[in-house]
Structure 1
Amino acid sequence: MVIKFYVTMTQTKKIISLLTTILLLFSHFSFSQFVKNPPIPKESYSYNENNNKLALHIAGGVIATGLLLEYSGIFDKKEFQDDVLRQFPNVKTSIDDYFQYTPIAIGLGLNAFGIRGEHKFTHQIKRLAFAEAICNATVFTIKSQTKHVRPDGSAKNSFPSGHTAQAFCAAAFLDREYGKQYPWLRWLGYGMATTTGVCRILKNRHWASDVVLGAGIGYLSVDLSYRLFDRWEKNKNLQITPMVGNKTYGLNIVYKF
């Protein structure tokens, strides 16, 4: 794997500053979900009502920001994009293609080495598969309905950013399973997700509003999945197992009457 990233030293400093600012914005709110709550046994672990509300507020706020940036008229996305490209011209990298999945790979790798997260491996897979289904269905539906042109003019599927949605879905999954035990993994995951979103703008593949909305969708998809499975698993008559096939994934749902 070869990753090329052509920027000058001055541009590199500006990129680091931009990444740090956005990373702190997203990671601070996610981290705050945990700091006020004492540790509890893994088997009984579940977000309490305050955490549930906070997670929804975070996701809702990010999604609302993305919609406002796109539709309110208070933000000129083209002017912003032009300014970014003037500041960071000719950025070429493929790191965003890899970072969107890396947090998931880290989580599954930890399981492979016997380092358990907040849930058993099969329960993690069920939650992840459902979150991915929510995320991809939401992104595809909005893209196909809005048909917004990408900033580089290459296609009419710009809004929202699928790469960013996937990246934040992956980061939120890693956060839910391992962020409490290893806080640095939380920062690593959201750092990769943020880098993915910023790269989509720097490469002129997405507008800023695309990236912000994508981040909110990815984060919310995981929150909804974990919220629903926490409830479903309390129902002994309901069985949900993941299904993985050739380029497909889904859930097998059985309810015993």
Structure 2
Amino acid sequence: MNKIIMVLFLFLSVLKVNGQNASIDSTKNRENIQFKYKSLIIPTVLIGYGVVGLMSPTLKDINNSVKNEFREHDDKKVSLDDYTQYSPFLSVYALNALGIHGKNNFKDRTIVLATAYLIMGGSVNIIKKTSKVTRPDGSDTRSFPSGHTATAFMGAEFLHQEYKDISDWYGITGYVVAAGTGLFRMSNEKHWLTDVATGAGIGILSTKIAYWVQPLIKKTIFKEKYKRNGIVMPFYNGREYGLGLSVTF
């Protein structure tokens, strides 16, 4: 079962659906907002799996099987997930600091990240408080969905969107790390498989929404206006002198 789950997560980490390239380049194409419904397939399936799992006896049995499989083969608890959840989105800033520039400048990508984090964090906390699912280790009733996994997949999608025009491997690496975070959460008996799947879906969807609404946020909150460039030059037409003014909006 361990191998099956690992293959499932690695498959999701590299799977690309037509339309996943829906994005906004706020620096180059401020008015180019592209919304493609196909890009919602993966996060919708992941979230749907988790929601159905709240009531489905079959999916609950799978949850218990996965828990028992991890307990049987791996009795060591590793806290790497507390750090790996942040690795994908921090990588974006690290790569830019190293001179490998992504799609957006510092301000624009920070707006996207902050928006995604607010959407993701708000959604996860509201669902945790209302669903009240007990964790596999019985420590509390805030198991569904996995916040660590949501943060990791939010960052993985962020990394993918920023660097997909340079190389797909940046995004693939981010998704592998995010998948590993989910596996650690199950291995540490902090989350069920359905928790992790829903967290992954929420994380991906939050980042996609953040890119779609970024131009609106910049226009309404930051009051960004188009730059005006002007130049003043002296002229002489053979009879008189003067100054010429040229302004580009």
Tell me the TM-score normalised to structure 2 length: 0.79
Q: Look up the match of 1:58.
A: 42
Q: Look up the match of 1:143.
A: 128
Q: What is the deviation of 1:104?
A: 1.4
1:26-65 correspondence runs (5 A): 26-29=13-16, 33-34=20-21, 43-44=28-29, 48-49=34-35, 52-65=36-49
The structure with the largest alpha-carbon Rg is 2
| Higher mean displacement: 224-233 or 124-133 | 224-233
Distance 2:57 2:211 in 1: 35
CA RMSD of aligned residues (A): 2.7
Q: What is the deviation of 1:231?
A: 4.1
Distance 1:145 1:41 in 2: 36
SS of the residue 1:205 aligns to: coil
Q: What is the deviation of 1:121?
A: 1.3
The answer (yes or no) to whether the contact 1:88–1:202 under 8 Å persists in 2 is no
Tell me the TM-score normalised to structure 1 length: 0.77
1:87-236 correspondence runs (5 A): 87-233=72-218, 235=219
Amino acid at match of 2:87: T
Distance 2:91 2:129 in 1: 32
SS of the residue 1:74 aligns to: helix
Q: What is the deviation of 1:95?
A: 1.7
Distance 1:47 1:195 in 2: 32
What per-residue deviation string (whole Å, max 9, x for no partner) do you get for residues 130-187 of structure 1? 1001111111111111221100011111010010001001111111101231211111
- In structure 2, relative to structure 1, the CA distance for the partners of 1:218 and 1:177 (3 Å cut) is same
Distance 1:209 1:21 in 2: 13
Q: What is the deviation of 1:255?
A: 9.4
What per-residue deviation string (whole Å, max 9, x for no partner) do you get for residues 199-252 of structure 1? 11111111111000100111111011111113444x4xx243xxxxxxxxxxxx
Amino acid at match of 1:168: F
Q: What is the deviation of 1:109?
A: 0.9
**Number of aligned positions between the proteins:** 221
Any unmatched runs of 5+ in structure 2?
Answer: 226-249
Q: Look up the match of 1:84.
A: 69
Moved over 4 A (4+): 14-17
Distance 2:84 2:123 in 1: 21
**% same residue:** 33
What per-residue deviation string (whole Å, max 9, x for no partner) do you get for residues 93-119 of structure 1? 122111100111210011222322111
